[in-house]
Amino acid sequence: MCHDNPKYVMPRICEENAPRIEALHLGHPLLSKARKCNDIVINSKEPILLITGSNMSGKSTFLRTVGISLVLSYLGLPVCAESFICPILKVYACMRTSDNLGQSVSSFYAELLRVKMIVEAVEKGEKVFFLLDEIFKGTNSADRHTGAKMLINQLDKRGSWGLVSTHDLELADMENESEGRIRNYHFKEYYKDNQIFFDYQLRKGVSDTRNAIYLMKMAGVNIE
């Protein structure tokens, strides 16, 4: 892997007295050379990043990028970055859950089972790094908002670190409610010549753009 990717860097495991995840120009190793890279810092003062953004803007890919970089680090392999520092954490992900007709499991219940694994690990005192992608998307908006907020607060109180992607912009209020422990970041799109483009760059703050209506129009839906 080092021979094929000479620009990758060997990660460094940081000391217990100053744990942090810190990366410069971090990219997904399975994407092409045209991949977009981002910087990231997570530590005990700001352990949770809440990532908003429109459809296809790069939220899920960013979560996967951080997750696979941690796994590669723990395997003693190089990471697609200029520098990468991390502590030893157990990585848990709730992403791409699906239904199972044979076991009579809906996609929402499958997601709950995955969340249960994360909560149980946290309650046992494990040092957890979680990846929650569009959490509780299989239920109504009111329950989704309430459930997501309660879960994120629960994980934060137990000292867990992680990334949460969401379309629920109301969750952004948690930054003020948590006194900055939960930080807002976002991806955005831009338009040119009646086309939509993405730069896949992570920015601080809450998303201020939406593209669902635009994409619906492109799909032939008549928007009055």
Domains of the chain as residue ranges with CATH:
12-218 (3.40.50.300)
> Which residue in the block uniquely carries the two structure tokens 């459809």?
55
pTM score, whole prediction: 0.89
The CA angle 146-44-115, to the nearest 5 degrees, is: 35
pLDDT at 211: 65
Q: Measure the CA–CA gap between 12 and 165, rounded to whole angstroms.
A: 26
> Which residue in the block uniquely carries the two structure tokens 């998307």?
137
Q: Measure the CA–CA gap between 32 and 144, rounded to whole angstroms.
A: 35
Instruction: Characterize the bridge pairing of strands 128-133 and 90-94.
Output: parallel
pLDDT at 17: 74
Span 146-167, average pLDDT:
94
> In the structure encoding, which two tokens stand for residue 163, read together?
């990334």
Q: Measure the CA–CA gap between 52 and 31, rounded to whole angstroms.
A: 22
